Amino acid sequence: MPALHPDQTTPVELRKKGGERFTVRWADGHESAFGARTLRGRCPCAQCVSETTGQRLVFEEHVSPDVAILAARTVGHYAVHFDWSDGHTTGIYSFDYLRRICPCDLCTGRAA
């Protein structure tokens, strides 16, 4: 994957909207909005992604549709940690990772 510009991975605002959404406004002006189920299904931890093969073990369809974000807090100056209503608490989502998984049409290539 190509390197991202620092403005693309530097958050200027992190916001948990109830338990359903998490948004990041980036230094380059872009905003990423994640649904809770989407984020939980993309957890990068070793329980959700095999440490040996890198193969994803947990997908969005494995996550309850009503999963909620109970808490979100920064880890140093590089990541966010979430506590989930399903009891999962081990994922650390780097800012680089969050920008790379942005679900918007522009980032996924669906924009016309």
Tens digit of pLDDT at every position of the chain (112 positions): 678 988 999 999 999 999 999 999 999 999 999 999 999 999 999 999 999 999 999 999 999 999 999 999 999 999 999 999 999 999 999 999 999 999 999 998 887 5
Q: Is residue 112 part of a domain?
A: no
The amino acid occupying position 27 is: A
Q: Is residue 1 part of a domain?
A: no
**Can you give the pLDDT at residue 112?**
59
Look up the domain containing 34 and give its range: 6-104
Q: Is residue 109 part of a domain?
A: no
Domain count within the chain: 1
What are the distances in angstroms from CA 59 to CA 43, 62, 74, 75, 111?
Answer: 9, 5, 24, 24, 24
Q: Is residue 50 part of a domain?
A: yes
